[in-house]
Amino acid sequence: MAVTSFTSVCRLRADVGAESARRTLSALEVGAASPFAASARTHFARLQILDELRVHTRRSLARAMLIWSTDVDGDIRSYLVEILTSARETLAPVVALCDDAPRDPGAHDFVDRAIAYLLAHQMRVGLQYTNSPGRSATEIRHALVRRRQLAHFALNYQHDSPSERRAAFAETFGLAEIDLREPAVADHESTAAPSAEGVP
């Protein structure tokens, strides 16, 4: 599934200061509890407030901006439907910071209007944050889990014999089809054992 990068740049309301907006963003959970974690399609998500530009000198903006950036699996419209529906109450205060954006999460058309607003302020993206092309967010998460499992296995079984490690590996990772027959050469001291050093 193709990864889509989306960035929306939205001017804050005249009655919302940059610091007040930052406090709203700071109140959001991060990690597994983040509102963006509600979708398995999220690769990356970032919300930030921009109130000055730095090129050669620092220059304050007349009105601060909300920058909404995400890299997601698939098309952005269906993703926004998913994320704004599942995390409506959490993300509504963020959308409401912006000039002329919908503010009432209880309105029957809030999600549709919020999506239309974000898409209307979309900017073209030249780069992607995602650094695992060709892999979905779910595949990447599964790979990270497997990596941690392998590291844990290597540490716990590094002093076992090869035959013991093979049996434990098959049991741990559910590989019933693995060939558990004794090797032609008996276990001996020079047989390399998995170790934590071999796990990235």
pLDDT tens-digit profile of 81-119? Answer: 999 999 999 999 999 999 999 999 999 999 999 999 999
Cα–Cα distance for residue pair 35/90, rounded to 1 Å: 7
Q: Same domain, yes or no, for 142 and 77?
A: no
Q: Same domain, yes or no, for 56 and 27?
A: yes
Report the pLDDT averaged over residues 33-48: 90
Cα–Cα distance for residue pair 199/154, rounded to 1 Å: 8
Q: Which residues contact 10 (CB under 8 A, 6 or more apart)?
A: 65, 66, 68, 97, 98, 99, 101, 117, 118, 121
Q: Same domain, yes or no, for 101 and 149?
A: no
In the 8-state DSSP scheme, what is residue 82?
Answer: H
Q: Which residue, of 92, 123, 154, is where some domain finishes?
A: 123
The more confidently predicted of residues 153 and 85 is: 85
Q: Same domain, yes or no, for 141 and 119?
A: no
Q: Same domain, yes or no, for 114 and 42?
A: yes
Cα–Cα distance for residue pair 71/35, rounded to 1 Å: 14
Q: Which residues contact 3 (CB under 8 A, 6 or more apart)?
A: 43, 71, 72, 73, 128, 130, 133
Q: Is residue 129 part of a domain?
A: no
Burial of 158 (0-12, 13-18, 19+ CB in 10 A): middle
| Domain that includes residue 54, residue range | 3-123
Weakest-pLDDT range from 92-96, 119-123, 179-183, 195-199: 195-199
Neighbour tally for 7: CB within 10 Å: 17
Q: Same domain, yes or no, for 147 and 95?
A: no
